[in-house]
Amino acid sequence: MEYEAVIGLEVHVQLKTNSKVFCSCSTEFGAPPNTHTCPVCQGMPGVLPVLNRRVAEYAIKAALALNCQINPLSVFARKNYFYPDLPKGYQISQYELPLAEHGYLEIETPQGKRRIGITRVHMEEDAGKNVHGEFGDPHSYVDLNRTGVPLIEIVSEPDIRTPEEARLYLQKLRTIMRYIEVSDADMEKGELRCDANISIRPKGETRLGVKTELKNMNSFRHVQKALEYEIKRQQKVLEEGGIIVQETLLWNPQLGATETMRSKEEAHDYRYFPEPDLVPLEVSQEWLEEVAASLPELPDEKKARFIEEYGLSAYDAEVLTSAREMADFYEAAVKAHPDNPKALANWVMVELLGRLHAENKSLLEAPVTPQQIAQLVALVDKGTISGKMAKEVLAKTYQTGKDPQQIVEEEGLVQLSDESELEAIVEKVLEDNPKEVEKYLAGKTKIVGFFVGQIMKATKGKANPQVVNKILIKKLQEKGEQQ
C-alpha cells in the first residue's frame, strides 16, 4: 500500500531583543552562568513580570511576515510544570488567545509551489539550562542566563507531506526571520528549534492516523532524516499489522533512529490558565500599521520583482533572494550597472559565490564590493575585456581588493578589438596553416576552434573573441569562394 505522511511543525524562534521578555536583563549569549539574572527572571518570591514592548513588536513583525491576523487582544497564560531550569514552576506563554493566527508561508518544491498554513504565532519565555557533570562532581547546576529570553512559537497546520517539504518550510522560515531581522534563526545555536507531529495514512484516505511527536532535531538535515526514519518506522509497524502508539519520541542522531521519551499516559498536564500578573496585550490599529510599515520587502515579493524587473529566471531569482544580504548585494551591483542585470546575476551567483563557497565564507565576508562586480561586468559589456579575462580580473580583485578598472589598466589587459589589426593576424594564421584551412573547406568546421586558439596565442589572449570569430568566418568563406 502507498502511504502519505501528514506533518505539522512547532517551531520556536529566539527573538534578538537586547533585553529579556519580562525583565531588563541582557539576552547576550555566552556570559558566565547566572550573571544575566535578576530577582524577576530568577523567580524570587513577590516579584512581577513586565512585558518588554520590543518583544511584542518583534513578534507582531514575525506574525505579519507569516501572513497572520494579529489579535487585537491577546492573553498571556501560565504553563505549569516542575523542572529546575524553570524557576517559577511555570512558563509564561500564551494559550487560548495567542498573539496571531491564520497565517501561511509558501515554499518552492520540485513539484511546484506549496502553501503551508500557520495555525498560530505566540510569545513566550525561554527556560534556563541544567548543567550536568561539567564541574567534575556528581551535582547538577542550573544556569538561568537564558531564562526569560524571548521566544515566539510558530505552529503550522498539518499541511506538510514530505520530510523535504519540512526542511524547505524551516529554511523559508529562517530566511523570513532573518529578512525582518527579528532573529538569526540559527538551528545549531538553538535560535530556531523544531518539534514535529507526524502520522501516516494510506494515500487517498482523508482521516488522520495516530501521530507521534518528534523532538531533539538540531539541524535542518536532522529534521529531514528524523522524519524520513519515522515515516519508515510507522509504515513498517502498520504493514506488520501493528498500531501506532501516540507518544513523544527523541531523535538520536548517533543511532539515526527515534527513541521513546514518554507515552501519552505520561504526558504533562500543564494546567494552563490566564497569567494574573500581566494584563492582556492590546495591539491597536495604529501600532499594527506602524509595525507593518517597518517590514522590509519579503523574499517572495522580492523574488517576483527580480523576475519582473531584471528579467531573471525563477531559479536565479530564488537563489538571489534566499538571503537578504545577497539580494541587497545584487541590487547594489545592478544600481551601479543597470544595463545587464542577467549577467550580474551570473557573476554574483556563479563566480563570486563559487569562490566564497570554496573558502567557506559568507557574502558578508566577501572581499569584493557590489560596485566592483558591476564595474567588471561593464568592462565586459563595453568590450574592453573578454569574459575570460574578466574571470582573471575578478580573481585579482578578490585577492587584492583593487578595482577591476585599475587591474585592467595596470596589467594592460585591454582587449584587442581593432578589426584591421585583427584581420592581418587572422590572415597570417590562415596562411601559416594551409592544411587546416583545407580541412575546414572540406567540411570539418569544428577546426575553427584551432584557428581561434592560434589567434589568441598570437595576441597573448587579448583578441576580442567575437571580433575574431566574425573575421575568421568571413576570411574562411572568402577562401571557399576562391576555390
Positions touching another protein (CB under 8 A) are 39, 42-51, 78, 80, 82, 84, 87-90, 142, 269, 271-273, 276-279
Number of neighbours of residue 315 by Cβ within 10 angstroms: 10
Smallest gap from residue 140 Cβ to another protein (A) = 8
DSSP symbols for 145-187: TTTT-EEEEEEE-S-B-SHHHHHHHHHHHHHHHHHTTS----T
Smallest gap from residue 246 Cβ to another protein (A) = 15
Smallest gap from residue 275 Cβ to another protein (A) = 8
Smallest gap from residue 86 Cβ to another protein (A) = 9
Smallest gap from residue 247 Cβ to another protein (A) = 18
* Cβ 420 vs Cβ 467: under 8 Å: no
CA–CA distance, 277 with 293 (Å, rounded to integer): 31
* Cβ 83 vs Cβ 270: under 8 Å: no
CA–CA distance, 198 with 324 (Å, rounded to integer): 32
Smallest gap from residue 274 Cβ to another protein (A) = 8
Report angle CA 201, 187, 134 to the nearest 5 degrees. Answer: 115
* Cβ 77 vs Cβ 45: under 8 Å: no
Smallest gap from residue 143 Cβ to another protein (A) = 12
Question: Whose Cβ is closer to another protein: residue 92's or residue 326's?
Answer: 92
Smallest gap from residue 99 Cβ to another protein (A) = 17
Question: Whose Cβ is closer to another protein: residue 23's or residue 238's?
Answer: 23
Question: Whose Cβ is closer to another protein: residue 17's or residue 397's?
Answer: 17
* Cβ 104 vs Cβ 70: under 8 Å: no
Smallest gap from residue 134 Cβ to another protein (A) = 17
Question: Whose Cβ is closer to another protein: residue 28's or residue 277's?
Answer: 277
Nearby residues of 222 by Cβ (< 8 Å), 6 or more positions away? 251, 253
Number of neighbours of residue 13 by Cβ within 10 angstroms: 26
For the chain, the distance separating the N- and C-terminal CA atoms, rounded to the nearest angstrom, is 72
C-alpha cell read off for 375: 564595474
Question: Whose Cβ is closer to another protein: residue 89's or residue 311's?
Answer: 89
Report angle CA 149, 152, 261 to the nearest 5 degrees. Answer: 85
Question: Whose Cβ is closer to another protein: residue 3's or residue 141's?
Answer: 141
Question: Whose Cβ is closer to another protein: residue 34's or residue 433's?
Answer: 34
Smallest gap from residue 215 Cβ to another protein (A) = 20
DSSP-derived letter for residue 441 is: H
Smallest gap from residue 144 Cβ to another protein (A) = 9
Residue 33, judged by CB atoms within 10 A of its CB (0-12, 13-18, 19+), counts as middle
Residue among 18, 153, 25 nearest 87 (CA): 25
Phi, psi of 125, rounded to the nearest 5 degrees: -100, 150
Smallest gap from residue 285 Cβ to another protein (A) = 21
Residue 372, judged by CB atoms within 10 A of its CB (0-12, 13-18, 19+), counts as buried
Question: Whose Cβ is closer to another protein: residue 96's or residue 418's?
Answer: 96
Which sign, positive or negative, has the C-alpha torsion 288, 293, 294, 297?
A: positive
Nearby residues of 36 by Cβ (< 8 Å), 6 or more positions away? 20, 25, 26, 27, 28, 145
Question: Whose Cβ is closer to another protein: residue 77's or residue 378's?
Answer: 77
**Secondary structure of 187-218 in the HEC alphabet?**
CCCCCEEEEEEEEEEECCCCCCCCCEEEEEEC
Residue among 384, 387, 373 nearest 411 (CA): 384
Question: Whose Cβ is closer to another protein: residue 146's or residue 303's?
Answer: 146
Question: Whose Cβ is closer to another protein: residue 276's or residue 449's?
Answer: 276
Question: Whose Cβ is closer to another protein: residue 87's or residue 148's?
Answer: 87
Question: Whose Cβ is closer to another protein: residue 43's or residue 209's?
Answer: 43
Smallest gap from residue 145 Cβ to another protein (A) = 14
CA–CA distance, 334 with 327 (Å, rounded to integer): 10
